[in-house]
Amino acid sequence: MVIAAEPQFHVLAVDDSLFDRKFIERLLQKASCHVTTVDSGYKALEFLGLREGVEINDPDAVSTSPVIHQEVEVNLIITDYCMPGMTGYDLLKKVKESSACKNIPVVIMSSENVPARISRCLEEGAEEFFLKPVRLADLNKLKPHMMKTKLKNQKLEEIETPSKDESGTAAAVVEPEVNNLTEIGIKILPLQSEVEPKQVHLQVVQKEEQTMSNNKRKSVEEGLSTDRSRPRFEGITTAV
Amino acid sequence: MNTVVAKLQRQFQDYLVSLYQQGFLDNQFTELRKLQDEGTPDFVAEVVSLFFDDCSKLINSMSRSLERPENVDFKQVDSGVHQLKGSSSSVGARRVKNVCISFKECCDVQNREGCLRCLQQVDYEYKMLKTKLQDLFNLEQQIVQAGGAIPQVNIN
């Protein structure tokens, strides 16, 4: 089994249409992501461990639903806007209200181009708003967003378990770097010229980073390959 | 060069191009084909099949909603058209999508007669496309069975 040089992202895709789920799943896989698909906002919240009042033996509960918050690492949530019951917007709000999950980037998809809807979602904290049909090129814009949470989680893990690392380098990463996550995120961005100003609302500050960044990035990559307490999704696509 | 394979590949290519030229398919179908690879050789056939299932289901339920002139559930019809338009867009089913656009307009003004006409048309279009794509997939299968590769077709 080859360990990929590039970190693997785990995306939670939410859509009530089976067709759309199949489509977005393939798209995400093609963009080298691990994918979990669910058919409603409720199931999404369950998966994220956010749904209160759900009993462990609830037959409707997602079988892979974690008991502890953040046991499952999700680097991005991509959701349809128009869904019965809980809309994508409702889901977005719930995620942003949760202290455990508010840092997970959320992307909304819709087949309708309604400017008021788009701005409402972006104001509520959605990273992007994609018009359907979503293209591979759209997904590639998401890598920087996913990278942010990935690195942040990695750092938090290293802070929590400092004695674990075999290589001395991982621990060294911890200190002042924590505040400079955004700078690391920038370094891994694709060409800025490809980004369309209209559709992108990057919350990352654009700063020029010189000497420090390369070393930081190197240690991060080394850190990524150490043992992790979190479950990994090795090439598994789960559908609930 | 295996001439049987070459002939089949040529046939496939011409057929696919004709589907674009006649407006059955658009660019999105090309995008769909790009998502298919050796690891997922049935992807296009699978999603297309899901799409046709959707068409059938939605057309049936919309038909029921439009049945009684004194009691039409336009909300339900609108929801059905919305879904159909969305999935036909994602698949690249151009003609079906275009009918959906007119269909939505009839629905917006609560024109039952117009809706019924569009319903009939959308039924016709999806069935027509289904037949065409079945022929296309059959050609693909023949190529693979003859030991050839499916050509990458560039549509301009």
Q: Which domains does chain A have, with CATH numbers?
A: 10-52+71-153 (3.40.50.2300)
DSSP state, residue A214? H
Cβ neighbours of residue A189 closer than 8 Å, sequence gap 6 or more: A143, A144
Highest mean pLDDT among A19-33, A145-159, A190-204: A19-33
Does the pLDDT of residue A53 top 50, yes or no? no
Tell me whether residues B90 and A136 touch, CB distance under 8 A.
no
Identify the contact set of chain A against chain B, taking CB-CB distances under 8 A.
17-20, 22-23, 26-27, 29-30, 82, 111, 132-133, 135-136
Render pLDDT for B20-75 as a digit per residue (tens, 0 to 9).
999 999 999 999 999 998 889 899 999 999 999 999 999 999 999 999 999 999 99
Distance CA A52, CA A91 (A): 14
Strand pairing report for A128-131 and A238-239: unpaired
Nearest Cα to Cα of residue A148 among A220, A59, A84: A220
**In the beta sheet, which residues pair with residue A129?**
A108
Does the pLDDT of residue A174 top 50, yes or no? no
DSSP state, residue A200? B
According to the model, what pLDDT value does residue A183 have? 42
Answer whether A65's CB lies under 8 Å from A46's CB: yes
Estimate to the nearest angstrom the gap between the alpha carbon of A118 and the chain centroid: 20
Burial level of A179, CB count in 10 A (0-12/13-18/19+)? Answer: exposed
Identify the contact set of chain B against chain A, taking CB-CB distances under 8 A.
28, 31, 34-35, 37, 40, 43, 46-47, 50-51, 54, 82-83, 85-87, 89-90
Q: Does this complex have an ipTM over 0.85? A: yes
b/e map A221-235, b = 16+ CB within 10 Å: eebbebeeeeeebee
What pTM value is reported for the model? Answer: 0.71
Render pLDDT for A98-115 as a digit per residue (tens, 0 to 9).
998 999 999 999 998 999
Answer whether A108's CB lies under 8 Å from A126's CB: yes
Render pLDDT for B70-104 as a digit per residue (tens, 0 to 9).
999 999 999 999 999 999 999 999 999 999 999 99
3-state secondary structure of B133: helix
> How close, in Å, is residue B94 to chain A by CA atoms?
13
